[in-house]
Amino acid sequence: MEKRDAVLIFLINDNEILLAESNYRNNRITWNGVSGFINAGEKPKEAAVRELYDSVKIRAYEKDLEQAGVMNLFTLRPDGVRERTLTITIFICENFQGVPHMTSGFKPRWFNLSSIPYNDMFEDTKEWLGRVMSGEKVVIEIISTTDEQTNITKVKDVLVRNIFEK
């Protein structure tokens, strides 16, 4: 099976961040940036522009997307081998047109930057989102394990590095 990469976009408007409510985790509401898969032949910025419009009806241009980081997700198999499951390119966008609209799969809401709902986000987000919001460029590695009895995936380790760190 071909692995597809994804994009994750955080819109910033003055002191607010746009998060979208989604249902990724066992029927539990999760807030995240606007996200989606990169189609065959698309570059990450092209996918981000398309996903913003498809998901929340916001228009943005590639030139207005600032790459803030790359997240590599790995699953630790029972034999100890790390298997890459997904690479996500993270963007920040402060220049865009339109008002976010709800679509199937996304219910957008603005949050003040001082009250980001980390407890209702993926558990790794609190490790890196603040650094991204402060302008840092990051490389994130998330290693997860899956409990074979319950089939529930849990984050085992999160490594966040500034891209300029060795």
pLDDT digit string, tens, across residues 47-73 = 999 999 999 999 999 999 999 999 998
What is the tally of structural domains in the chain?
A: 1
Among the listed residues 33, 47, 160, 24, the one whose alpha carbon sits nearest the alpha carbon of residue 100: 33
Please give the pLDDT value at position 77: 79
Q: Is residue 132 part of a domain?
A: yes
Q: Is residue 158 part of a domain?
A: no
Please give the pLDDT value at position 35: 93
Q: Is residue 130 part of a domain?
A: yes
Q: Is residue 109 part of a domain?
A: yes
132 DSSP assignment:
H
List the domain range (segments joined by +) for residue 57: 6-71+88-142
- C-alpha span between 32 and 134 (Å, rounded): 17
Q: Is residue 119 part of a domain?
A: yes
Q: Is residue 82 part of a domain?
A: no
Q: What is the CATH number of the domain that holds 51?
A: 3.90.79.10
- Name residues of the chain where pLDDT drops below 70: 1-2, 23-29, 147-158, 163-166
Q: Is residue 154 part of a domain?
A: no
Amino acid letter, residue 34: V
Please give the pLDDT value at position 31: 92
Please give the pLDDT value at position 1: 46
Among the listed residues 126, 132, 133, 130, the one whose alpha carbon sits nearest the alpha carbon of residue 155: 126
